[in-house]
Structure 1
């Protein structure tokens, strides 16, 4: 069957986090630049669809194509590594340190921004005919998004900042769920359907995604939006990044690890005990091989040292 049960899924999630910490600088940058670029193209596509059809829901339904493409290609987003890499550290994987995790986050942030800004510049050229005409309807829509989601929060002061942060939390609750669900099936159609649901939800609900915003707000500034770089940083990007971090860890990563990933987890204890019993009293060579495989799966992700 293509469905991967949660008790088995957590090992794959931890493996993914450990591997990302070990990437070279070049690999991390290339994968994060492409991840930011593809997601930004999807955001531009969604805004274009919503603007030209007047149906925002249709834009949200189609937006997940960018997320799906980048994850099927193995590219990285900051919102994804926020949840994957800390689990490898909690599991005490060899070579996974806090310094390595912070290095990964910094490189992915930089790469995502480069990719998103590149698409913002290219799209600004497209919607203004090389900056020779005023922005078209899509360009105007992008500019207004930037204004509403910076100055709009600032008008409410502390309450606006709290709302912005919570929208960042809720966003990465859904996005991190999509990241994990990408591994819950071994078939491409299964992965696509599983990822589609939470990504569509976050986009239509207007939650704040730090990488999407790396495209929307520079685009707004390039297209004449009435806000500043400091408005963008203080009243959107920085609180959104923090909210994304909290949302991914608190609502996805840690709950999965606590119930499925720890060596003391009931599921792990039962699986390990059954495997040992079967290995000690094999009914046949094939049964023994199955038992050993089960034991390996149950213990492969136990803390080291």
Structure 2
């Protein structure tokens, strides 16, 4: 076998991935509440770490790096979050929209699926905000003479200013890519293979500036903390007006609602399409 072939990710065929998704979905829908809470908190924390990493990658790039390469770099490093979720094990709301496959196969009831998604959403939020607060307390926003904080403010301000339709469409596209990363990871045979298949779809959604509800649960609050709580020296270093106040509760909620609805639609579309292609009952030929 050539060196090129030996380093390519080893992934199960699509039909076997669909069966894996069904099996995993059944297990996820049956998790005990304490386990689901713990793993949901971890997933929110992991995605938040990926978000903070991406902000560091974006810091100062507007002056030195063209937009496209900077976005791709941010996407690659943001992949850390989903890698931690899928390799380490955690319950991520957006990826768990693929539970629709187990429901369609009759392996998980509608109520348990809805409950698992609801608990994951709430705990993802709590874990995300906790890491955003921890990052702010640790002074992450002060990195690069305040460049990280500036990157956070610029990104969050763009997000809260999106109209509902744009954020909805963006959320659909974002979670299609996230769920494709999860789907491919279901079929990966090793941790290294999982990492290799996760990075491209995640890098793509971040590079395109799409809306991921769980990522925004940390990115917007972190920037909000910078806006309202940063010390005067930050504003001096950053060269910004300390009175700027674009990020608020209304904008955060509006973004989260639109992104969440879009994420549910996007993930549901991916799961439903693969169920239809590989798992739906076939009519017997007469």
- Same fold, judged at TM 0.5 (above): yes
Query: CA-atom RMSD, angstroms?
Result: 2.1
Q: Relative CO higher for 1 or 2, CA cutoff 8 Å, sep ≥ 6?
A: 2
Deviation string for 1:97-119 (max 9, x for gaps)? 22111111111011101110011
Residue in structure 1 matching 2:262, options 234, 243, 250? 243
1:272-283 maps to which residues of 2 (within 5 A)?
Answer: none
Does residue 271 of structure 2 align to residue 263 of structure 1?
Answer: no
Could you tell me which runs of 5 or more consecutive residues in structure 2 were left unpaired when the two chains were aligned: 1-8, 228-244
Normalising by structure 1, what TM-score?
0.78
How much does 1:128 deviate?
7.2
Q: Distance in 1 between matches of 2:202 and 2:72?
A: 13
Within 2, Cα distance between the matches of 1:193 and 1:220? 30
The counterpart of 2:249, out of the listed 203, 225, 229, is 229
C-alpha distance in 1 between matches for 2:220 and 2:77: 21
- Corresponding residue for 1:297? none
Are 2:72 and 2:204, in contact at CA under 8 Å, matched by a contact in 1? no
TM-score (norm 2): 0.83
Q: Gaps (5+ residues) in structure 1? A: 154-159, 271-305
2:153 is aligned, of 137, 143, 148, to 143
| Aligned partners of 1:124 and 1:219 also within 8 Å | yes
Deviation of 1:11 after TM superposition, in Å, equals: 0.7
Distance 2:188 2:85 in 1: 17
1:108-133 CA-to-partner distances (Å, cap 9, x unmatched) read 0111011100111011112279x9xx
User: How far 1:166 sits from its partner (Å)?
Assistant: 0.4
Match of 1:64 among 62, 79, 82: 79
Of the two, which has the highest radius of gyration?
1
Tell me how many residue pairs correspond in the alignment.
Answer: 251
Q: Is 1:180 aligned to 2:183, yes or no?
A: yes
